[in-house]
Structure 1
Amino acid sequence: MATATTNVVRWSALIGGIFYGIVHQSTVQSQYDEKKAARAVSHRAHLVEEAKKAFAAKKAEKSSGSELITDIENPKFDLEKVIESWTKDQ
């Protein structure tokens, strides 16, 4: 049979190991959560940049062409261009 000192050392090592495991798991989980949050922020920023680029391209596309005249009283009014722009937008 084991002596009392051996039992104390064994139980102390077991309890110490369990405590270390809990602390280590907590540390690893918090690091993982921080990295996951940083990745989510980075991904969202990337999506915002892509949306800005797409919006700028769409805006440039609209302004680069001849200005569409929708005023019927204007002598340069062209019904065909207006209908074409409506079908293109949809």
Structure 2
Amino acid sequence: MTLRLDATETQVRRPAAHRPGRRAFVSGKKNLNTVKTTIISDAAGRTLWVGAPRPGRQDDQTKIKTEGIDDLLDHHPRVRMLVDAAYRGLRR
């Protein structure tokens, strides 16, 4: 079985001043305040799973490990994932 995995960034309003974690929402890629959501779909493009929205500063690989997806892939060796270059370290 082959699945597609990617993260999408959604622009959000900037958190209020003097709030803890305010800088966590600034995406390095877009230089905007964003939340990042991981999505898994099947070969036909149907959405199978959507992860929790996390601050935009978090790296894609870190999100996969936080969500526990890398552990699930270890338990299901027949499942293949199509990913972009942001997930290079997952192969290990």
Alignment TM-score > 0.5, same fold: no
TM-score by length of 2: 0.22
Query: Bigger radius of gyration, 1 or 2?
Result: 1
| The structure with more strand, counted as a fraction of residues | 2
TM-score by length of 1: 0.23
Higher relative contact order (CA 8 A, sep 6+): 2
